[in-house]
């Protein structure tokens, strides 16, 4: 078997069977490995990993496009059960072979961080964890099926959660309340099922950590995610800075809205943190910037062409090659993501657009991830193209801010000048009110995984979530709706399928705000630094990547005070428009 025989495309093999990949791994295991041929051996292994991981990604994408398609779901389950476990075991053998060479930084300076990560992964590997991780992925699939299938009648039509969410932005408070309560009832209707899924996940994750000789799953997760540059204590420092600086800023925003709208109190349908929805003030209906996927693509393409023609070309490639699936529809999985297809060196963007401004923000956000993929594909090895997650989100969140000046129709965008000002105010207010919610999600998981016995009772999870909610989410009157407030953790898919993946959004937002701050005085320089940092992939440490993009890797009170001040000043200026 030679690597010249790797297929040109993944559809030329049966990706559901390990036999499609096993000969390539076997050849690498058998091939003599020395310091002299190590680089060629790595190039071949990297090519195989690109092919393998594109197979995984493509199968996942197809399944999420239609959660009701049994054949797609079965293909995903087949690759999960037949291929993923064997690939993990084979990769462990190859890592051990490579690490046994004891390659020095002088021999391969560009592989220093990759080898560090591989060493850590090899030390953590336990064969007995493979079936547990497979079961966890199956449970995550159950969560996605259950939540993606939620739907009910509305004005004589059947609507899913994303379609119902359109009415959460309605100017009529009664309509918002009705939509919110309808959605809340759908979630409460599957409360026992979600509790059961999560309790099974917690038990499995506890066993995974114990098998790998970690004191708890938090310690395991921090190591698994390669968090070499910060600790749980740094997360708590961030939480406290948010409580000190951002919660008061949130209160100022809420008080201003309450006064402008003439409300006695704000209710849960006036601020919905998990959806990033905050009631709008001023004249006019909620922004409805586009109609359908093609309209969204064309205006987004225009915006990117104003920002940077090469970035625009990246986006055009995705549109031309049908790598954008943007409209919501029944049976489609919830949420939005950008998935890398490393064999063909393309990204794929998935989202649930319904024609609102939030969809425009999602489009810009996921495009930032896509640009990160395009820029880092030039790295010679697949592992070098994978940045830390905390910096991956800098790419996406910075793009939301860098593209903001081009939202107007005169730049090919979506809005009049007044509408663009409204959109930018909505975005900047959203950044402020997001950070307290991020702190709730992250702090909740710290509690869950360091209190494993207590967390096995879902009522304790409800109470822990509620305590954090009341610490960080101020000035909303819930009344008799406390069950929906206490089960808010059900409505955050990261808590189920991507444990501890949420602090990244907060850290990245701090980085992105610094990129934006730089762009206000040197737009070209900020964009050049942005693209350079993206091209580095995972070849620099997290603090070094922040430095490359023109930001500091710190999340203390002083940093947040400066950035929140800039946001509030900008909002005040935009309100004059």
SS3 sequence of 72-121:
HHHHHHHHHHHHHHHHHHHHHHHHHHHHHCCCCCCCCHHHHHHHHHHHHH
Alpha carbon 483 to its chain's center: 27
What is the tens place of the pLDDT at every residue in 493-510?
999 999 999 999 999 999
Mean pLDDT of the chain: 95
Q: Answer whether residue 1 shows pLDDT above 50.
A: no
The stretch 389-415 carries a mean pLDDT of 96
Determine which of 326-335, 384-393, 453-462, 533-542 has the lowest per-residue pLDDT on average: 326-335
The strand pair at 151-154 and 271-272 is best described as: unpaired
Angle between helix 503-519 and helix 417-450 axes, rounded to 10 deg: 150
Which residue do the tokens 């038990």 mark? Answer: 203
| pLDDT over threshold 60, residue 147 | yes
* Beta strand segments in 476-572, E: none
Q: What is the pLDDT of residue 318?
A: 98
CA distances (Å), origin 269, targets 151, 168, 422, 431, 492: 19, 7, 20, 19, 17
- Residue 535 token pair: 């091209």
**Token pair belonging to 104:** 């020095």
Identify the pLDDT of residue 523: 95
**Distance set, CA 58 to CA 6, 15, 62, 333, 493 (Å):** 17, 10, 6, 15, 20
Per-residue tokens: 320: 């031309």
Which has the minimum average pLDDT: 16-30, 40-54, 184-198, 276-290? 276-290
d(CA 387, CA 371): 13
Residue 557 to residue 535: CA distance in whole angstroms: 31
Between CA 281 and CA 330 the distance in angstroms is 31
Say whether pLDDT at 2 is over 80. no
How far are the Cα atoms of 134, 137, 243, 355, 575 from residue 64, in angstroms, in the given order?
A: 18, 14, 36, 20, 40
**C-beta separation of 381 from 46 below 8 A:** yes
Q: In the predicted model, is pLDDT for residue 348 greater than 50? A: yes
Residue 81 has pLDDT above 70, yes or no: yes
For the cut 70, the answer to whether the pLDDT of residue 464 exceeds it is yes
pLDDT-based confidence at residue 3 (cuts at 50, 70, 90): low
Domain ranges of the chain: 3-124
Separation between Cα atoms, residue 28 and residue 33, nearest integer Å: 9
| C-alpha to C-alpha distance for 465 and 487, rounded to whole angstroms | 8
- Residue 286's pLDDT is 79
Query: How far is Cα 477 from Cα 482, in angstroms, rounded to an integer?
Result: 10
pLDDT at 4: 62
Min mean pLDDT across 20-24, 286-290, 431-435 is at: 286-290
Mean pLDDT of 477-483: 96
Cα 550 from Cα 569, distance rounded (Å): 21
How distant, in Å, are the alpha carbons of 42, 245, 268, 275, 444 from that of 39?
A: 5, 49, 57, 46, 44
- Give the pTM: 0.93
| Residue 319: pLDDT band with limits 50, 70, 90 | very high
3-state helix, strand, coil in the chain (%, to 5): 70, 5, 25
Residue 283 has pLDDT above 80, yes or no: no
pLDDT number for residue 401: 98
CA quadruple 389, 392, 394, 395: dihedral, nearest 10:
-170
């Amino acid at each position: 078997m030679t690597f010249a025989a790797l297929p040109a495309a993944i559809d030329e093999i049966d990706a559901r069977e390990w036999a499609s990949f096993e000969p390539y791994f076997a050849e690498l295991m058998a091939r003599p490995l020395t310091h002299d041929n190590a680089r060629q051996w790595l190039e071949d292994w990297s090519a195989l990993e690109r092919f393998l991981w594109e197979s995984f990604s493509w199968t996942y994408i197809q399944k999420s496009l239609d959660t009701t398609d049994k054949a797609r779901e079965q293909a995903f389950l087949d690759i999960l059960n037949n291929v993923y476990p064997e690939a993990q075991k084979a990769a462990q053998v190859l890592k051990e072979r490579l690490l046994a060479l004891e390659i020095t930084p002088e021999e391969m300076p560009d592989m220093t961080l990759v080898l560090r990560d591989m060493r850590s992964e090899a030390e953590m590997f336990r064969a007995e964890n493979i079936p547990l991780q497979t079961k966890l992925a199956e449970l995550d699939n159950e969560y996605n099926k259950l939540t993606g299938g939620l739907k009910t009648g509305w004005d004589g039509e059947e609507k899913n959660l994303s379609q119902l969410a359109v009415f959460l932005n309605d100017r009529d408070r009664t309509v918002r309340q009705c939509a919110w309560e309808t959605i809340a009832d759908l979630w409460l209707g599957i409360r026992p099922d979600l509790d059961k899924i999560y309790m099974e996940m917690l038990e499995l994750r506890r066993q995974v950590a114990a098998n790998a000789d970690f004191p708890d799953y938090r310690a395991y997760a921090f190591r698994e995610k390669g968090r070499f540059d910060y600790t749980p204590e740094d997360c708590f420092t961030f939480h406290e800075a948010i409580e000190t600086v951002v919660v008061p800023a949130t209160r100022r925003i809420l008080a201003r809205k309450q006064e402008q709208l003439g409300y006695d109190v704000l209710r849960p349908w006036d601020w919905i943190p998990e959806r990033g929805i905050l009631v709008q003030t001023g004249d006019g209906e909620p922004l409805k910037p586009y109609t359908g996927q093609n309209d969204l693509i064309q205006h987004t393409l225009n915006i990117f062409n104003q920002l940077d023609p090469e970035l625009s070309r990246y986006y055009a490639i995705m549109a031309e090659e049908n790598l954008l699936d943007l409209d919501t529809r029944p049976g489609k999985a919830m949420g939005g993501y950008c998935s890398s297809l490393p064999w063909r060196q393309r990204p794929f963007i998935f989202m649930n657009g319904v024609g609102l401004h939030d969809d425009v923000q999602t489009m810009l956000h996921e495009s930032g991830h896509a640009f990160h993929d395009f820029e880092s594909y030039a790295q010679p090895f697949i592992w070098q193209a994978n940045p830390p997650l905390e910096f991956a989100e800098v790419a996406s969140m910075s793009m939301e801010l860098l593209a903001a000046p081009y939202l107007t129709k005169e730049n090919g965008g979506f809005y009049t000048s007044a509408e663009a000002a409204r959109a930018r105010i909505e975005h900047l207010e959203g950044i402020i009110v997001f950070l307290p919610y991020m702190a709730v999600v992250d702090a909740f998981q710290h509690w869950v995984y360091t209190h494993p016995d207590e967390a096995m009772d879902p009522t304790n999870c409800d109470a822990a979530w509620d305590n954090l909610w009341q610490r960080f989410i101020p000035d909303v009157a819930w009344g008799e709706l406390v069950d929906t407030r206490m089960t808010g953790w059900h409505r955050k898919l990261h808590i189920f399928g991507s444990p501890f993946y949420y602090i990244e959004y907060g850290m990245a937002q701090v980085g992105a705000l610094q990129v934006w701050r730089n762009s206000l005085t040197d737009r070209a320089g900020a964009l050049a630094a942005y693209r350079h940092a993206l091209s580095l992939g995972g070849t620099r440490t997290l603090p070094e990547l922040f430095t490359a993009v023109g930001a500091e890797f710190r999340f203390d009170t002083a940093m947040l005070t400066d950035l929140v001040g800039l946001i509030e000043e900008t909002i005040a200026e935009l309100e004059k428009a």
